[in-house]
Structure 1
Amino acid sequence: MTPKPAAAAQGLRPLNADEEAVVRSLPCLIYALPRAIDADMMREQRLSNTEYLALMHLSEAPNRQMRMGDLASACEMSLSGTTRVVHRLESEGFIERVRCSQDGRSWHAALTDAGLARLEEAWSTNLAAVRRHFLDHLEGLDLAKLAAALRNIAS
């Protein structure tokens, strides 16, 4: 990135070569990584990574159920997108929708025993994809510092 006169006047420091390389590689990572993991999941499990993540988040929730809005947030999806994913998983018997016991107006997605079994079946494919497409490329880096930096950026 070529420094602009206004930036220099504000005292902004130009990117060094390493910073430039990181900044330029981010859009590719954000685009390519989820697609690569999803392709492996679809090819080997016929389960999208988004569906896998919905099952995973439900498996970790109390009573294996979450409000639809909370599941959408956990999966980094819109509520309408989450509803479509839940509908598909519900049609397979992996999730069921249940009324919220506290207010009776909202719905929860609940992981069924079949859904938990499907998650366990798909786990090794997901793990292999995450390692192959991401973690194996980070060898030698301080992963705790990287994770902290990524959390800081996201918040």
Structure 2
Amino acid sequence: MSRRSARGTSRSPRSRPVPPPLTSASPCPCGLTVPYGDCCGRFHSGSAAAPTAELLMRSRYSAFVAQDAAYLMRSWHPDTRPATLDLDPDTRWQGLDILATTDGSAFHTTGTVTFRAHYAHGGESGSLHEQSRFARHDGAWVYLDAVFTR
């Protein structure tokens, strides 16, 4: 997901319930059937690197759920990474659908992932449909940029 999808300036006048923090035993928000600690959590902690563009996309989605701006910045290509990232704490990410992938394996240097991410904000439900581009930088997969689709 891009900076545009992460930024939000409107804040709810009343506080929203905060979901419980992710634990290593929590279901992974990315939608795979592996617990968070064995799935995206290992990428967030730095104990492993995402081996494919799709797994990096899934881990970035989970980082939005976890409000882990540090991981999002680390996994962003330095040529396109913003100076700061303002995550909207009132956005509740509710599910990720991977629609298509192109390249992005251990044998590639670039890849794309087309996805739909579902969210709720201010009592309204919505979705973000995006085709993200990924590239290898210093041997690791990083998010490069995206095209928003409908």
After TM superposition, the score normalised by the length of structure 2 is: 0.23
After TM superposition, the score normalised by the length of structure 1 is: 0.22
> Which structure's residues are more often helix, by fraction?
1
